[in-house]
Amino acid sequence: MEILMSILAGILFATGVYLLLQRQLLKIIFGTALLSHGAHLFILTMGKLNRGAPPILVEGIEDYVDPLPQALILTSIVISFGVTSFLLVLAYRAYKTNQTDNMEHLRGNDHE
Amino acid sequence: MSNLVILPILIPLLAGAILVFWRKKLMVVRVGAQLVTIINLIVSSYMAYVILQDGPLILETGGWMAPYGIILVGDGLSIVLVVTTNIIAVASAFYAPNSLDKGREEHYFYTFFLMLIAGVSGAFLTGDIFNLFVFFEVLLMASYGMIVLGGTKEQLRESIKYVLLNLFSSILFVTTVSFLYSVTGTINMAQLSERVGQVNQDGILTTIAILFFVVFATKGALFPLYFWMPHSYTKPPAVISALFGALLTKVGIYSILRVFTLIFIGNIDYTHTFFIFLAGFTLLFGVAGALSTNNIKLIIAYNIIPAIGFMVMGIGIFTDLSVAGAVYYLIHDMIIKAALFFLVGAIAIAAGTSDLRKISGLIKHYPLLGWLFFIACITLAGIPPFSGFIGKLLLLKSAFANENFIVAGIGLLASLLILISVIRIFVQGFWGESMSLPTEKRSIKPLYFPISFLLFFSILLGVGAEWFLPHIQQIGVDLMNPSGYVDAVLKE
Amino acid sequence: MLFFSILAPFIAACLVPFLFRYKRTIHTGWLVLPIPILLFLYFLLQIPNISGGNNIHLIINWIPSIGMNLSFYLDGLSLLFTLLITGIGTLVVLYSIYYLNKKEKLHNFYVFLMIFMGAMLGVVLSDNVFVLYLFWEFTSLSSFLLIGYWYHRERSRYGAFKSMIITVFGGLSMLGGLILLTIMTDTTSIREMIESKESVINSPYFTGTLLLILLGAFTKSAQFPFHIWLPDAMEAPTPVSAFLHSATMVKAGIYLSARLFLLFGGSDLFFILVTGFGLLTLCWGSYMAVRQTDLKAILAYSTISQLGMIMAMIGFGTEVAIFAAIFHIFNHATFKGSLFMIAGIVDHESGTRDIRKLGGLMTLMPISATLALFGTFSMAGVPLPFLNGFLSKEMFFKTATQISPTAPLVDQLFIIIPVLAVLGSIFTFVYSMYFFFQTFMGKSKETLEIKPHEAPIGMLVSPIVLVTFIVVIGLLPNLINEPILAPATAAVFGTVPEEHIAFWHGEINTPLLMSLAVVVLGTLLYLTRKKWSHVYRLLPGVLSANKAYDAVYEGHLRLSRKTTNMYMTGSLRHYVLYILLFLVASGGITLVVTDGFAFSTSDVAPISWPEIMVGIVMAIAAIATVFMQNRIAAILVLGVVGYGLSLLFVFFRAPDLALTQLIVETVTVALFLLCFYHLPKLDTKKQSTGTKTVNILISASVGILVTLVAIASHSSKRFETIAHYFIDESHHLGGGDNVVNVILVDMRGLDTMFEITVLGLAALGIYAMIRLRKEEEID
């Protein structure tokens, strides 16, 4: 199962990266969302999957899945949520100010 | 156990949060920020005194023992960098009110600023690799807040690139942490050092090490990963550029230094040789960038890169001497980069432009500014007795002693080119016929204090090198023998 | 005291700006003048000590951790230089008082001058190589500032910049050599290096070290082809030219070669390089001097050629040659210093230095003319018993015929050494005559704007003193032999020379014949110079090192601009592409090289179909986002991936995650929807196939790389994770049964605290971004 999940996360990464290489800001932001999904899936997969009960202690159960990756993912999810929201507003402001959401038009080297 | 360790993180964090509530009372906020940074400098200097006397200070946060809880480790390297950070913080707190506009100040500049300091200090102090990621995010989020602050066209344009590239490397960071956790079963850096050592850092660990390197090198602006940096660093106001140039990239370098002296030292023939190779290119391409432009802020921003090259060269050579040299150079570079950004910021205010082709003859009206800039230039270029020389000497000596002649030669050549790139500003901007100065502008007089404050430390680091060098050399020795760090954390 | 002697000029430099401010009525020069006088007297008083063999040594610890200590050593060689520095320094300061107008930025001038004097004393007194380097660079920097003293002039800036680039370049190269020396000998003291000479000579780095150090010496002492900065340095005020650019700073390279002679002197390479470049410089400099029309330019090239001559003598490496070199260092300072001052006087009093506009000044400026006569004739080496220049020039000829070559190659070539020596001297004779006769004899021209008149006496004092030296030493050369020249030679060569200087050796020998040949041929060439003028124009043409410098300077700027613009395209896609390429290349290569890939299914969870199904749906949805043309559809498809992920979290026993992911995903989708109102429609424009292929290739490789590393990481679990602790201790130490929660709020509470900080910052950032919209501002 871990192997398959790794491949799935890999696919999420690949599509995320592909979108990151696009011109349009919205697509690029989609890419980052896919990338963080991929990353979170990786973290979970890297703990052992499915070997035990959810990490909520119950009398009598000895085996639980690794709780640490879950804690890390939670932290990471919240952080990426913060960054993504910020990025969305930034994209909106940049579009309003620069009148384009095409990153190829936002090179800006002619100023030098 | 010592709760002292968390203070450099906690003080700016709390202060930054409190200042949010007084955003309209600018006087309170300014003086508050200044006081907080000064207090923080005093606290961290005291910590440095304790640590350099008695060895590392460890804090197991929440009382959870290592390696399970998050451990803060104040060792020599961490603490000198925290002190340096706070020196820059004090200078910035005095530079900002006299250079920023009211709008930016009211929109939480000081909160972002203090949070940035908290994040940077945290990154230096943490002994947990996931927690390092979290502190990275804190300082990055603070930097995002700063880089867009004001929202001018160019600023927004470059911020997007900045945020996206950092976001990507953060995602890669957290992914790589999970790989490392899978192999070693831990995220405590001391335990990682132990465990990676136990399996002799086999192939997969070396690969993970390289992934970490890519992450940190992207943050640290190493060739060929720095392309996002120069333009995005120069668009916001000078004080923000200074904070970025002095602190952000250096956190990346610190991470490389830490991770590749503590954890991944099992295959140095491969990894560290690779670093030397990249260091050479970083030196050359960085300095080429600095020579390629007439924008004075950009010239300084590009000059961040060859300095990174010098440090990575020291990490790559990997001897007591070279690592000590890298640390010395790191401290020097943090201070002088902040000073240079402050200086060009002042020049831009005085001349009303950052285009070198439009500036000339400033020295007639601003002799003090000119000479301060001149001193900063030769400090940057590593002319003795200023601070750049000491670190460079250690680095070059170790390069020659290890027969890395090519990179040593590149280092010498780069020193010359660095000098050319900045002295151009002096020759063209300060010499020459007097230009007509802008009629309406702020006074730059109050800016002299923070600039001189930084240059004072820069000169002190050079002339008074003997006060610091033995400690730095000890840090070099300690870094090369990670068992001390590991024992301090795991066997308290 | 020795230490204080170096410090004194620096202290003076610090005080000058304050004195200048309070004492505007007095010319600042008067305030500065006591410093060089006192120092000169101090060093004069050391003569008996030094010639008696009691060298002075002083060490003050500075940075012992890197062996950088203030170690000063006064021996014969240093003494000679200190006397020159302080002696000429005194005369130059005196001269400058009359030369520079009180209205100028005199404080700057004297600050730089004092820094230079201190630095130059430091160079010749330092026994520690790093301290030597420090002072060496300080001479370069003060020279830079002095050349750029009249900074509003384009030529001054150009000259200052050029001189700094070339000398700092040499300085850095020298630093490399010095570092190698410290590695070989494990000391930073020059004297200790010379003591452990064996380890240097037998080192594999010997050649490299020698080359690096000589590069430093050659650039500083303006040896061909690095001489080009010196003529441009003539933009400096004339007192500076007389002091730095003829008498002292340019001799620092010679000093260095002499100082390290005992270390390198025995090697063939040293002989070939130093002699070769010395002679080349001698000929080239004197040849170029003939072509010049500016008085100072003539003197500049003349200085280059004389420096070459001294360098060559050090290269010869015999005892007599070293002695002659030392002697000529001294003589050159006297006649060249005086000639610079005369050139300055002519410029000052007639308003031009262009020799074509000058003539017949003899009658108007008789004293200056007389002084110039002595200076030029001494420089030309005219055989008269009262000119010191002839004495050392003849010794030069003598040594040129006497060298005993050791290298086989040199054996063939050494016959041309005397020929080159004579050739260079002929040109020297020509330009010396040209300088004197063209300026002072003949008819006076009417083209001058001001009527020239004799300079004030204050200005004449300094050249008079120097010319007195020319004559006195010409008549009684052995006056300075015992006290100064012999100890200096001893310091360089190691043994005390038994040389006796004489005008007439009692016979007609080869050197005398060579001298006569120079006079005869030189006179002929001078008299017929009009016919040769077109020949002089042939060289250097394209060979000019100046053109090379300009080309290199412009070229490296252009190259920098070109390379930088090549990759700094400003395009986000490019930046991402570079990072990804680097990631894939370095990560992929490492995985292969270190054989890090592993694949094992021994420790995996069983495959279950519901999870697979969700996974497949997610994969399809992810790929679909790439092709979506419609914004809402794209956002919804993206939502599918997110909700799928929370479903997976449920399957994989992570209830807290699932819940959080669900909430976050919902809010994110809502945000996306909110945002898309404001952003334009998705771009349906097709990308070029090339771009597309690259994108697909690179993103596929990134995906494959991370997947492989993930599989390998998972297949190489080497250790028990630390997770058991959390499960064991959560209940009774953490006081909670939900382990993930306990970890978050307690064990890793710090993470959570800062995660909230990040959220808070994001909120503040968003607020500030929306509220604060600044107009474009000056950049």
Tell me the per-residue pLDDT of C606-664, one tens digit each, with 9 for 90 and over: 888 888 889 999 999 999 888 887 888 888 888 999 999 999 998 888 888 999 999 99
- The alpha carbon of B469 is separated from its chain's Cα centroid by a whole number of angstroms, namely 19
CB-CB: which of A4, A5, A90 is closest to C769? A90
Distance CA C369, CA C439 (A): 9
Q: Is C778 found in the same domain as C652? A: no
Q: What is the mean pLDDT of each run of 10 residues along chain B (492 residues)?
A: 86 93 87 95 94 90 85 93 96 93 89 96 95 95 92 86 93 95 93 92 91 94 89 92 94 95 91 93 93 93 95 94 95 96 94 90 91 94 90 94 93 94 92 84 89 95 92 94 91 64
Determine the Cα angle at C758 with ends B112 and A99, to 5°: 70
Q: Which residue has the higher pLDDT, C723 or B470?
A: B470
pLDDT above 80: residue C774: no
**Based on the number of CB atoms within 10 Å of its own CB, is C195 exposed (0-12), middle (13-18) or buried (19 or more)?**
middle
Asked if B451 and B339 touch (Cβ cutoff 8 Å), the reply is yes
Mean pLDDT over residues C693-717, rounded?
Answer: 92
Q: What is the mean pLDDT of residues C724-732?
A: 85
Together in a domain, C642 and C734: no
pLDDT value of position B427: 93
Structure tokens at C585: 């290349």
DSSP letter (8 states) at residue A53: B
Which residues on C lie below 8 Å from A22 (Cβ)? 573, 695
Lowest mean pLDDT among A9-23, C129-143, C444-458: C444-458
Q: Which two tokens stand for residue B477?
A: 């020795």
pLDDT over threshold 70, residue C684 = no
User: Given pLDDT bands bounded at 50, 70 and 90, which one contains residue C408?
Assistant: low
Task: Name all chains with 3 or more CB-CB pairs below 8 Å to chain B.
Answer: A, C
Q: How many CB atoms lie within 10 A of CB A99?
A: 10
Decide if pLDDT at C678 tops 90. no
**Is beta strand C68-74 parallel, antiparallel or unpaired with respect to C56-63?**
antiparallel
Q: What is the pLDDT of residue B195?
A: 93
> What is the pLDDT at residue C776?
47
Query: Both C499 and C370 in a single domain?
Result: yes
Segment C252-269 mean pLDDT:
91
At residue B169's C-alpha, the angle toward residues A40 and B410, to 5°, is 155
Mean pLDDT of chain C: 87
Q: Is cis: bond before B8, omega within 30 of 0?
A: no
C324 and C445 both lie in a single domain: yes
If asked whether residues C518 and C634 sit together in one domain, one would say no
Residue from C453, C449, C442, C294 nearest C360 by CA: C442
C673 interface with B at CB cutoff 8 Å: no
Does residue B219 fall inside a structural domain?
Answer: no
Domain that residue C770 falls in: 721-779
Show the DSSP H helices in C717-748 as ranges.
Answer: 723-729, 739-742
Average pLDDT of span C322-327: 92
Q: If you measure CA to CA, which chain B residue comes closest to A73? A: B174
Which chain B residues contact residue C754 at CB under 8 A?
119, 122, 134-135, 137-138
Cis amide leading into A67 (omega within 30)? no
- State residue B460's pLDDT score: 93
Give which of C740, C741, C748, C770 to mutate to test A binding, by max A Cβ within 10 Å.
C740
B435 with B360: CB under 8 angstroms? yes
Model confidence band, residue C539 (pLDDT cutoffs 50, 70, 90): low
Residue B15 backbone dihedrals phi, psi, to 5 degrees = -60, -45
Q: Which helix (H) or strand (E) holds A75?
A: helix A67-98
Residue C551 CA, distance from chain mean position:
18
Q: What is the per-residue pLDDT for B43?
A: 95
Contacting C residues, span 636-655, partner chain A, CB-CB under 8 Å: 638, 641-642, 645, 648-649, 651-655
8 A C-beta contact, residue C387 and residue C377: yes
Same domain as C757, residue C725: yes
Does residue C272 lie in a domain region?
Answer: yes
Residues C779 and C668 in one domain: no
Q: How many domains does chain B have?
A: 1
C-alpha neighbours within 13 Å on the C-beta side of residue C340: 33
Q: Cβ contacts of residue C536 below 8 Å, gap of 6+?
A: C287, C290, C291
Give CA C188 to chain center in angstroms.
Answer: 21
Mean pLDDT, residues C241-267 taken together: 91
d(CA C132, CA C161): 22
Q: Is residue C119 part of a domain?
A: no
Residue spans of alpha helices (H) in B66-202: 76-95, 102-104, 110-125, 129-148, 153-184, 189-198
Contacts of C690 (CB under 8 A, 6+ apart): none
Instruction: Please say whether the beta carbons of C325 and C384 come within 8 A.
Output: no
Asked if A112's CB is within 8 angstroms of B134's CB, the reply is no
What are the residues facing B280 on neighbouring strands? Answer: none
Band (pLDDT 50/70/90 cuts) for residue C406 is low
Q: What is the pLDDT of residue C777?
A: 47
Of B151, B154, B178, which is closest to A108 when you measure between CB atoms? Answer: B154
Is the confidence at residue A112, as pLDDT, over 50? no
Nearest by CB to residue A67, choosing from C576, C672, C743, is C743
Q: How many domains does chain C divide into?
A: 3
Give the residue among B175, B183, B197, B348 at the shortest CA–CA distance from B263: B197
C423 occurs within a structural domain: yes
Q: Which fold has domain A2-111?
A: Helix Hairpins (1.10.287)
ipTM > 0.90?
Answer: yes
Please tell me the distance in Å from C470's CA to the nearest CA on chain B.
39
Listed by number, the residues of chain C in 573-612 with a beta carbon closer than 8 Å to a beta carbon of chain A are 573, 576-577, 580, 601, 603-608, 611-612
> Is the domain of C604 the same as that of C633?
yes
Q: Is residue C238 part of a domain?
A: no
Q: Are B69 and B48 in contact (CB under 8 A)?
A: no
pLDDT for res C778: 41
CA distances from C223 to C250, C253, C736, C751, C755 (A): 10, 9, 81, 64, 64
What is the C-alpha to C-alpha distance for residues A83 and A85, in angstroms, rounded to an integer? 6
Best mutation site among B157, B165, B166, B186 for testing chain A: the one with the most A CBs within 10 Å? B157
Residues 6+ apart with CB under 8 A from B216: B252, B253, B255, B256, B259
- Nearest chain C alpha carbon to B275: C586
Give the domain-ending residue among C683, C704, C720.
C720
Distance CA B81, CA B333 (A): 11
Per-residue confidence (pLDDT) for residue C478, from 0 to 100 = 85
pLDDT in tens, C540-552: 655 677 888 888 8
Whether C147 is in a domain gets the answer no
**Which residues form the domain of B410?**
267-482
pLDDT at A1 over 50: yes
pLDDT over 50 (residue A111)? no
Q: Is the pLDDT reported for residue C605 higher than 90?
A: no
Token pair recorded at residue B269: 């023939």
Tell me, what's the pLDDT at C449?
67
Region A91-96: mean pLDDT is: 86
Q: What pLDDT score was predicted for residue B193?
A: 94
- Is C243 domain-assigned? no
Same domain, C686 and C747: no
**Helices (H), ranges, B201-295:** 203-220, 229-234, 238-243, 249-262, 268-291
Q: Do A57 and C737 touch (CB under 8 A)?
A: yes
State whether residue A68 sits within 8 Å of chain C by CB.
yes
Q: Do C678 and A95 touch (CB under 8 A)?
A: yes
Give dist(CA C753, CA B122) in Å, integer.
12
8 Å CB contact of A43 and B159: no
| Closest residue on chain C to A32 (Cα) | C638
A-B contacts (CB, under 8 Å): 97
Rounded to 5°, angle at Cα C700 from C697 and C705? 120
Confidence check: pLDDT of C148 > 70: yes
* Angstrom distance (rounded) from CA C310 to CA C123: 19
